[in-house]
Every structure is written in C-alpha cells, then in structure tokens.
Amino acid sequence: MKRFIHFCIFLMVIVCHFACENATVRSVRLDPEITDTAESYAINIKGDSISYFHWAAEDEILGLPKTAFGDLDSIIARGYIRVLVPYSKTYYYVEGMKRYGLAYDLLNLFEKELNRQLNFNPPRVHVIFMPVSREHILQLLNDGYADMIASGYTITPEREKLIDFSLPTVTGVKDIVVGGPSAPPIQSITDLAGQHIYIRENSSYQASLIRLNDSLRRIGLKPVHIEFIGHYLEAEDMLEMVNGGLIPYTIIAEDLATLWNSVYKDLKVYTNIAVKTNVSYGWAFRKNSPKLKAAVNKFIPTIRKGTTTGNMLYDKYLKNKERLRNAQSPEALAALNNFRTLFQKYGNAYSLDWLLLSAQAFQESQLKQETVSHAGAVGLMQLLPSTAANPPINIPNIKNAENNVHAGVKYMRYLIDNYFSTEQMDTLNVHLFALAAYNAGPGNVRKLRREAMEKGLNANEWFNNVEILAAQHIGVEPVQYVSNIYKYYRAYMVLKHYKVLRDQHKIAKK
C-alpha cells in the first residue's frame, strides 16, 4: 500500500527520480575538440561456430545508398548485401570504432555461412549494415534501399502482405505485460481495465491492445488507456522507463523482457498475463527474393534462440550492465518539488521547456545542488564557476541554487541562439542538439552535423542520425546523456498528462 501511495505522490508533484547507467557528473565544456581514434575491432565469443568479427568503415552505410533491386544473383554481382538494423542496444549500436548487438553478431555469422554456401573462398559477398529508425524500416526495404531487415521484426498477417519473412528466428513468444516497481500488481488480464499502458508508436502491440479493449468492453469493464510514448524509443528504452518508475506498464515480447530483466531488477514481468500468444519474428525481404530467402533459411536453424550459438549471443548482452536506481526515492521527489519554481521561472524567461530543463538537471546532478564534480563543476546544472562568471553567461556565485539554474538555462539559450536557431529543425531537435553541445561542446556538434550531411544522414535529426556519428567519434557519453534526458522528459510529460486528467476530474466533480 505504501508503494502505491508513493506512486500517487509521484504523480501529484510531477516529479521523478531516474538515474541511468550510474552516470558520473561531468563539467560543461564550451568547445572541446573531437579526438578521432581508428582501431580494428574484434568480437571474440567462445564457441565452435563463432570467431572474430572485424569491423571496418566500409561495412556500414549511414544515410541512403542508391536504390537497387533483385534477388541473390544481383547481390552476388554487386558483392554486398544491405541490411537494415534498428539503432538499438539490443540489435546494433556504436561505441567509437566498435559495433555491438545481436544483429551485428548474427549477420557476421550469416556472412560467413553465405560465402560457405556459395563456395566463395576468400569471401566475395559482404554484409553492409544500415542503422535506421524503425518507423522507416519497411518503406526503405520496399523502395530498394536495402535487401533485408534484421531487427526482431514481428511476423504478422498485415506485414506478410507487404514483405516476405525468413523462418522464424524466435517462435512461440508471448507479448506480455511488464509493470514498474510502484505500479499496482495485476493478477489477471482483467486487472488491466482502466490502466494506462505505454507502447512505442508504430509497434505491433497496438493491435493486441485494441483486441483486448474489445474483450474488456464485452464484459462490461473499462478499456485500457493506450498511450504512445514516442517513436524514438526501442524496447529496452521502454523497459528502462518502466524499471525506473517513469511509466507504470508496457507490453513487450517475453524473450526481450527476460533478456533485460536480469539488467533492470525492479521490473515486474507478468509472464502469465499475455495480450498475444504464439508470436514469431524473423528476418524480412522484399517480395520475389526466393534465392535470398532460401540462403537465410539454411542459416536460421543454426542460430535460433535455444541453440548453443543463439543462447551464447543472447547471454553476451547481459554482461557488464549496471543496475538503475529506483525512480521513486522520497529524496528525489522532494528535490524537484523544491526546485520546480526555479526551472519554471527561468524556462519562461528564456523561452525553454522547464520540464526538459528539469530532466537535464536530474541527469547532471540528480537534482542535488551540493554536487561538485572531480573537475570542479558545481550544482544542479553542473557548470564550472569560471564558465558561469565569464561571457557569455556572466552569472557569478553558482553555489547559489537560483544562480546555478539561471546560468545553466542561459547557457542553453546561448547554444540554441548561436548554433541552432536558424537551422531547419523542429523544437525538440533544437533542444536535443543544444543538450549534446552542452555535454560535448558546440564545436564538436557542428563538426558532426557537417559529417552527417556529407554521409547522407539527416543533420537536423539527433536520434538515429547525428547520434551515431557522436558515438563513433566522441564515445557513448553524449549519446547516453541526450538519451537519458529525453527519457526523463518523456516521463515528465506523462506525469503532466496525469495531472491534467486529475485536475479535469476534480472540476467535473464540483
């Protein structure tokens, strides 16, 4: 009961406590330089079927290549197969010159197997990775920009009308309910009546929840409130937010919930409460690709989850993960409630979203004004005193909380006005790029955007575009920094929505 009361308090004060990766506090740098490091990368997984995978720049396409169609014969003629992968910690992600993820490892194995099938020694056909946003993945395949999708793509009748699938890489999966540490426990599917369930936009879970709502209405119960939380988020991001108490429930494939449950320890994984059963997913191709499909289908049985190789790869991505902090500590609830008026005051003064500023401060200092980093950065917004006292900020004494917030917000405004205000970006991306500049320096971000344009990426989109180059050239810190703040911000927006609904309910009762 106490946990439920804490959850209600959490909604009332519009506040959260959500620390990801036990991130250390850093100082703000006005303009550090990118340090490029070039190194060969080798993954070494012990096992008879897995050896070293060497990544090189030519193994990856950022942006869109020329369109090309055709089956395996055309792929052999050009010498490479283009594979769409989601930019995700589960499937494919970048750290400097290193590449990780299930899709990365499995496709390297497939490259070896395909060349073996074709009797090519040395290999003549190579896998080229194309990290993209999930929302575009199907269209890019059918438009000829790629030959295959490898993303844990759910096999549905609707999708089978548009594309072909391989043999399932995973079968018999359930789409299950996962709850957070303070969400009311559920004993049966009917306990979901009237609850808010958050899912990623454009996911296959929406259809399952619509069917569930039809069933609930037929027996006289309230439907589930289906809430969309943004198309930038992947499955592990949703679980991370549930684990941190930022959202109460989500729907996720059981195997992914199991995979990440050993990382996110505060999840309530309801394996007995499924909105859909017998789910399968696999790799996908354009229609009329029978030879490519046949080659993949020879490979799939050797790496399915349940095989030695498949299990080894799944287990690999559970190692070296840090546990997240509980998002509902009383200290964090009180902290943001105390500082909220400052973020509102200076957010309004500089025309910035106070919720996003609050999320930034939580990432920087966990809303602890007494925080001082090893580099000497101070307070809520983690600025160096010299940076704050000198132009362009000119605010001394940032050991004072109000001055600290004022200085941090003023610096964000400076970054936006001087580096991003004239760019063709939406409001969210303007702020995301300013956050990246706050963390990694505006000069670095400017260089990354120039390179993005040269490579055919969208230089005005941070997620799935410029962030990939940031991970490659700078490292994971700015990528994780912006990602964390975006998650906190989405959580604050959820809480703001709850507050509006609660206030409307109070007015209606008067």
CA distance 460 to 211: 38
Torsion of CA 69, 74, 76, 79, to 10 degrees: -50
Characterise 36 by phi-psi region: left (phi > 0), alpha (psi -120 to 50), beta (else).
beta
CA distance 268 to 264: 10
Question: In the Cβ-directed half-sphere of 374, how many Cα atoms lie within 13 Å?
Answer: 2
CA distance 64 to 61: 7
Characterise 121 by phi-psi region: left (phi > 0), alpha (psi -120 to 50), beta (else).
beta
Tokens encoding 495: 């809480």
**Structural contact between residues 87 and 468, judged by C-beta atoms closer than 8 angstroms:** yes
- Distances from the Cα of 182 to the Cαs of 196, 247, 327, 412, in angstroms? 13, 10, 10, 34
Helix (H) or strand (E) holding 355: helix 354-365
- Distances from the Cα of 407 to the Cαs of 28, 210, 338, 378, in angstroms? 12, 47, 18, 11
Characterise 366 by phi-psi region: left (phi > 0), alpha (psi -120 to 50), beta (else).
left
From first CA to last CA, the distance across the chain in angstroms is 28
CA distance 312 to 51: 13
Tokens encoding 198: 């958050």
364 assigned to active site: yes
Q: Which of 364, 423, 451, 477 is catalytic?
A: 364
- Distances from the Cα of 432 to the Cαs of 357, 405, 437, 489, in angstroms? 11, 18, 9, 11
Spacing of C-alpha 190 from chain mean position: 30
CA distance 367 to 428: 22
Helix (H) or strand (E) holding 440: helix 427-440
**Structural contact between residues 472 and 448, judged by C-beta atoms closer than 8 angstroms:** no
Beta strands in 31-125 (DSSP E): 41-44, 52-55, 80-86, 93-95, 98-100
Instruction: Choose among 204, 331, 393: nearest CA to 378.
Output: 393
- Distances from the Cα of 244 to the Cαs of 149, 230, 368, in angstroms? 31, 17, 18
Using DSSP bridges, classify how beta strands 164-165 and 268-285 pair: parallel, antiparallel or unpaired.
antiparallel
List, in sequence order, every residue forming a beta bridge with 284; answer none if it has no partner: 149, 165
Task: Give me the active site residues, please.
Answer: 364
